[in-house]
Chain A
Amino acid sequence: MDAFILAQQLVNGVTLGTIYGLIAVGYTMVYGVIRMINFAHGDVYMVSAYIAAITLAVLHFFGFQSVPFALISILIITCVITGIYGWAIERVAYRPLRGSTKLAPLISAIGISLMLQSYVQISQGARDQGVPILIQGAFRFGEGQHFVQITYMQTVILIAALVAMGILTYVINYTRIGRECRATRQNRQISAILGVNTDRIISSVFVIGAATAAVGGTLVTFNYGSFNFFIGFVMGIKAFTAAVLGGIGSLPGAVLGGILLGLTEALFAGYVSTDYKDVFAFSLLIILLFFRPYGLLGRAEVQKV
């Protein structure tokens, strides 16, 4: 067994896993606050990939060529615009259904998912789109056949994801809006009685979830260079799996679940078979849920009477 192959798969797995984690945050936060699975979240991620590519084109059109500047401004602009999508989706498709059956917003989410796919397909075309790879090259450790490489883009992904998670953790734990998010998650009625505008908090959670997914969308776009209107489906399922694996509703759980899923996939792909890596990852989820039905860091819901 080659230690270098193992190390390489670990690097790839962690990188992929942080992306899953970034997108899983949106599922877990929305579920935490309104107990709903936002099935349109994967497509919000997909939309962010297009926004990132369009922003790059616009920046190039205006003659901005500096890569660090481009990447940072694309990240910020994509987060903002995707955040607006998140806000609008909640406002239009979910809020009017609050207080109705649990099934209604779920159906509405599937509707939004289809709508976003069709809208991108019609406005941007059904074919794969590409962006130039902005950052090439890699750090290499080792010699000849035996080396581990971490591409510069992977480094960017890890740093950006770390920064995004750091900001998110800070906001949730130490700011007023974060405290109100946690309060609303624990007890919406009492939060409102204490004076929290819970509608505004729910909107914020959708914006935060969409913006975090946009960080993932931007990074993936510039890592792989190609995307289409359907990428949200598989990524959505993977990220949802990560959220469930970590314990839906738990923020650290989403990150942990993402990294675990990424590692599992990478190791299985590296040692056994690339074709069956998804089968293996989902089987693992099923087995884990047998033993921990609430995920790794999740807790049993206490049914209120």
Chain B
Amino acid sequence: MSTTETTAGPLLQFESVHAHYGPVEALKAVDVQISKGEIVSLIGANGAGKTTLLATIFGAPRTSSGRILHRGEDISTLPTNRISRRGIALVPEGRQIFQDMTVEENLMMGTTPIGMGHFEEDRAQMFDLFPRLKERRSQTAGTMSGGEQQMLAIARAMMARPELILFDEPSLGLAPLVVKRVFEVLAEIAAMGKTIFLVEQNANHALKLSQRAYVMVNGRIHLSGESAALLDNAEVRKAYLGLH
């Protein structure tokens, strides 16, 4: 199959990225690569810099040095609102849906980068994937349960028809059964051909879902490799899986 893409390289690539919050160096020489069609996870303890890594893609904070390449193009100086138009969507930590808006309006906000042209069709697809959202379409989003809000945050991201979806701790604060459902949904989304970059504290689930993974410690990439290999890695088992 021939491809018209300009680069055969990774879809998204962090090249020796440093970032600061004030005087604190949150990211130190981070190198991460994500290729089209992959599921890549990033695990690490609270405060390791995982969320910051995702935030730098959207320029908040901006990188202090290094480059973030999307399709070979440096996007680290682009305005925040221009990133989603490149086919990158975020499911943020803590959901961050628009609490005072209805479920439908949240989905409409998701279409911002591509316009309302495919709204009906994509909404129907999301309602198939998340039947609960269909039941609650006219309800104010803030009144829904945490699990439902997480589904809405995922659906909102999907409405932009992104190629790459970044998930920031999608299992945080959810009941075990709901967490299981979230990871099933992630697998379904991957099966639709989306590239997934998953940031998780829940290392067990993340490593089982992904093909490759990075382990972050104190703002540095400490380990990386095949997820299956990391699941067997003694250090990972001890520090992140609670096994010996």
Contact = CB atoms under 8 A, between A and B. Distances in A.
B202 interface: no
Given A179-B105, A179-B109, A189-B60, A194 B100 contact: no
Sorting the interface of chain B by its residue count into under 10, 10 to 19, 20 to 34 or 35 or more gives: 20 to 34
A123 B209 CA distance: 70
A11 to B, nearest CB: 35
B156 interface: yes
B111 to A, nearest CB: 9
A191 interface: yes
Contacts of A187: 96, 98
Interface in B124-180: 156, 160
A195 B98 contact: no
A194 B108 CA distance: 11
A129 interface: no
B108 A195 contact: no
Interface string A152-190: 000000000000000000000000100110110011011
A264 interface: no
B100 A198 contact: no
B1 to A, nearest CB: 30
B112 A182 contact: no
Given A179-B105, A194-B160, A186 B100 contact: yes
A194 B60 contact: no
B138 to A, nearest CB: 13
Sorting the interface of chain A by its residue count into under 10, 10 to 19, 20 to 34 or 35 or more gives: 10 to 19
A196 interface: yes
Contacts of B80: 189, 192-193
B100 A195 contact: no
B47 to A, nearest CB: 14
| Interface secondary structure of A, over-half rule | helix
B7 interface: no
Contact of B85 (A176, A186, A195): A195
A121 interface: no
Nearest to B95: A190
A196 B98 contact: no
B11 interface: no
A223 to B, nearest CB: 36
A164 B21 CA distance: 45
Interface of B: 58, 60, 79-85, 90, 92, 96, 98-101, 105, 108-110, 112-113, 116, 156, 160
14 contacts: A179-B109, A183-B98, A190-B92, A192-B58, A192-B80, A193-B81, A193-B83, A193-B90, A194-B109, A194-B112, A194-B156, A195-B160, A196-B81, A196-B112
Q: What are the 10 A-B residue pairs with the smallest beta carbon separation, nearest first?
A: A195-B112, A195-B84, A195-B113, A192-B80, A192-B81, A190-B96, A194-B112, A186-B98, A197-B81, A193-B58
